[in-house]
Structure 1
Amino acid sequence: MIMGVIARTYMMKIDYRQYPTYPQAYLSHFTLGVIAAGLGAVVIPAITEKEYVAVTFLAIAAQHFRDVRSMERESLDNIEPTELVPKGTAYIEDIAKTFEARNYMAIITATATGTVMYIGELLQLSIFIRAIFGIVIGAIVINALNKMLETKLIDDIAEVKEAKITFEGPLLAIAGVIIMNIGLKDAREVFMKNGIAVEIVPKDENAIAILSNIGQRQAIQHNAAIQLGIRKDVDEPDFTPIARRNPENGNIVMAIVAMEPNIEYLIEAVRRTPIIESSKRKPLDSYVGKKVSMKD
């Protein structure tokens, strides 16, 4: 049970997104982690004592943790209207699924540790040796699950570079891609003075498919605005960052009027944006995709 709690606590990190919040959401997720670890810890004792009814509690727990996903989704949906630059439904769903999966991580770690300790008991090893083996296996499982659940970043699939902001009359353009119509002269001057822009160049066709996803682009916009700050208020839609796709090559361009207009910081913020699970595509792995790739 201790190893399961450690597994859940290890994955509980508060970063720039401030979610889970501290201390309310942090405490609730920690408590759920303790419950999940307890469920995983009793699996082996229940089976060895032939208390198979107790094992069915795992099925009930799985349903409960699915409800946790719904709870997180609802919570994030409720605060979404308060964001100057929204996360988007895809990003919210990704966060909710992550919290559900981390409770399963606590169950798996506790069960694996208990299994090793039970095997040690069958081999008549001392409690001290069994505890050491349990800790080692638990740590290996935690590390393996952490690697498996590790989220890839935009930097893994694309190159992010500086782009130039230009105006074609009132039309804001980046690298030849029209972004939007900025009607007010004052707003155009703000963009020319404080605006910074990037171009995201996919490394292959799979990356093009991922970056074409609207939810993925919303996540990039949100992360950039949160980390660099944004010079806008609720009644200034002209300054909302918009990531547009170049239909000719699949590149993504985005401009932002940031509180900290440093292009290096913007590039780094975009690079570190996580790839949303629902946006992942692998067209190159399909039959048609392979044929097209060979033809190219």
Structure 2
Amino acid sequence: MLKYNYIIIPSIILGIISRLSMLRVDYRQYPSYPQGVFSHFTLGIVSSSLGAVALPALLEKEFSAVTFLALAAQQFREVRNLERQSLENIDKTELVARGTAYIEDIAKAFEARNYMTMMTSLFVSLAIFIFDKLLIRSYSILLGGILGLLIIVLFHKIVSRELIGEIADIYPAKISFKGPILTVNGIGITNIGLTESREIFLEKGMAVEIVPKNQNAVVTLSNLGQRKAIEHNVAIQLGIRKDLDQPDFAPYISRDPDTGNLVFVIVSMENDIEYLILAVKRTLVLESAKRKPLSSYVGKKAAD
């Protein structure tokens, strides 16, 4: 296998670069730093190594070595399960929970990134092997590296997900009360019994209306998991006044059954409507929440 080092080493390096490019710690702090980041970086090395040695193993007729790819797939599924369990345990400690749909979305993303790392290494090794038959070795390694970088960019585009701002328009909304009922743009949300709490909502609360751009967006935004993701992301970025024993100040999302529009209200630590709109716009559309009724014959005709 040493004679294939010119294939294996560049392939591993490009695979690691691929994993690092997808390993970012942002406001969600997941994966956590440094333990979580180190764990996923280590898995990236393992997955890139498996992808890099697959072709040399086949060339040497070491077919038993290729079975490690199947074992890797099983291991990556276990990673998904572990991430799900970890996030579910953490979710119990959040003032505003992520919700099961958001957790499943994150777990699937981590599993998929390991596969992408392995495929990057595999494609680079294949490219270097083919180019080596046509060109001198240094050129074949260079072209394989360039192809690997293009594959990384392509994978980023393939797995990039829509944001709420791409499927809906977000506008400032007015908070008011009909007796003890909290309303936003005339849509009733919840009963706020304490006078002091109602005064805080009127003084410090912010609200927006989320208007879907088409029928696909209407169905997607009606998903409860998607709504929980919006609540969690906004609460993390802008802070929240709520404490454990203050249920009145939880963020609320309610749906207008006539139009499919959503109204969202929160009493945050940072009272700036411009950044509330921006936080909602930048929330990911969950893969498990996405629906496309307009792609069906019935849905398209019904919407006409």
Relative to the length of structure 1, the TM-score reads: 0.98
In structure 1, what is the Cα distance between the partners aligned to 2:300 and 2:33? 47
Cα offset for 1:12? 0.4
Whether 2:190 is the aligned partner of 1:185: answer no
In structure 1, what is the Cα distance between the partners aligned to 2:131 and 2:60? 17
Whether 2:136 is the aligned partner of 1:126: answer yes
- Superposed CA deviations along residues 270-294 of structure 1, whole A, max 9, x for unmatched, are 0000000000100011110121133
Cα offset for 1:48? 1.3
| Pick aligned residue for 2:282 from 265, 272, 278 | 272
Partner SS state of residue 148, structure 2: helix
In the alignment, what sits opposite 2:92? Answer: 81
Identical-pair percentage: 55
Matched to 2:70, the amino acid is A
In structure 1, what is the Cα distance between the partners aligned to 2:40 and 2:21? 12
Matched to 2:160, the amino acid is E
Q: 1:168-247 alignment to 2 at 5 Å? A: 168-247=178-257
Whether 2:172 is the aligned partner of 1:162: answer yes
Unaligned runs of 5+ in 1: none
Q: What do you get for the CA RMSD once the two structures are aligned?
A: 0.7
Q: 1:1-296 alignment to 2 at 5 Å? A: 1-123=12-134, 125-294=135-304
- Superposed CA deviations along residues 137-187 of structure 1, whole A, max 9, x for unmatched, are 101110000100101100110001100000000000001111100000000
Partner SS state of residue 249, structure 1: coil
- Superposed CA deviations along residues 10-62 of structure 1, whole A, max 9, x for unmatched, are 10011110111110000000000000000000111011112222111111100
Unaligned runs of 5+ in 2: 1-11
In structure 2, what is the Cα distance between the partners aligned to 1:91 and 1:36? 25
Per mean C-alpha deviation after superposition, the further-off stretch among 153-162 and 41-50 is 41-50
Cα offset for 1:127? 2.3
Cα offset for 1:126? 2.2
In structure 2, what is the Cα distance between the partners aligned to 1:117 and 1:228? 48
Per mean C-alpha deviation after superposition, the further-off stretch among 135-144 and 125-134 is 125-134
Aligned residues: 293
Partner SS state of residue 244, structure 2: coil
- Superposed CA deviations along residues 219-257 of structure 1, whole A, max 9, x for unmatched, are 000011000000110000010001111101000001000
- Superposed CA deviations along residues 173-216 of structure 1, whole A, max 9, x for unmatched, are 00111110000000000000000000000000000000000000
Cα offset for 1:128? 1.2
Moved over 4 A (4+): none
